[in-house]
Amino acid sequence: MNKKRAVFGEAERSEILAAQKKQHPVHVTRRLLALKLKVVDGLRSEEAGKLAGMHRTSVNRIVKRYQEEGIEAIVGVRHHSEHRYMSREEEAAFLLQFQRRSEAGQIIETQEIHQAYEKAVGHPVTRNMIYYLLHRHKWRKVMPRSRHEKKAGEEAIEAYKKNHRKDQNTEKEPAKTSGDVPGRGWVWTDQ
């Protein structure tokens, strides 16, 4: 069972070797090593995978992607982080309106920011997106103060505790003895 092997020219080999000499992240270096072992050195996919620390199917995928898209598919950035709907400057300008309101003493809720953000970008976004936005710009949750500013002092509180519930009638009714008390059932204590 002969398998069809890909044929690579001298230009591809030199391109791979040149790309391998540059500084890359570890995952790109591993891809380049697997590609070099397969294309330049002529190893089988199993052998190249063992040396590069990959499975043979991963090596085959890398080779196929190189054949179809070139060296940029192996070395280039495939996933861009921080997919944002606004740039940092646009986000800061967006949050400025809420910052002014908060400095004026108004309470701002994330629901308001969420609705305004959706309106600004023109489509729905998750609530977590708003929390990430606020965290990126160093906003924090401000809790209400734990003590009211008009709360009475400790002395006034203690005086109130001592004097409240003092009735004018200091005599109390004597405690009822247990006996025929309604709701006690058929057992009586005074028999």
Ordered DSSP codes for the chain: -PPPPP---HHHHHHHHHHHHS---HHHHHHHHHHHHHHTS---HHHHHHHHTS-HHHHHHHHHHHHHH-THHHHS----S---SS-HHHHHHHHHHHHHHHHTT----HHHHHHHHHHHHTS---HHHHHHHHHHTT--PPPPPSS-TTPPPHHHHHHHHHHTT--S----PPPPPSSS-TTS-S--TT-
The pLDDT of residue 2: 57
Taking residue 175's Cβ as centre, other Cβ atoms within 10 Å add up to 6
The pLDDT of residue 187: 58
130-176 pLDDT, tens per residue?
999 999 999 887 766 677 778 888 888 888 888 876 655 556 666 66
11-35 pLDDT, tens per residue?
887 888 888 788 888 888 898 889 8
Lowest mean pLDDT among 55-64, 112-121, 179-188: 179-188
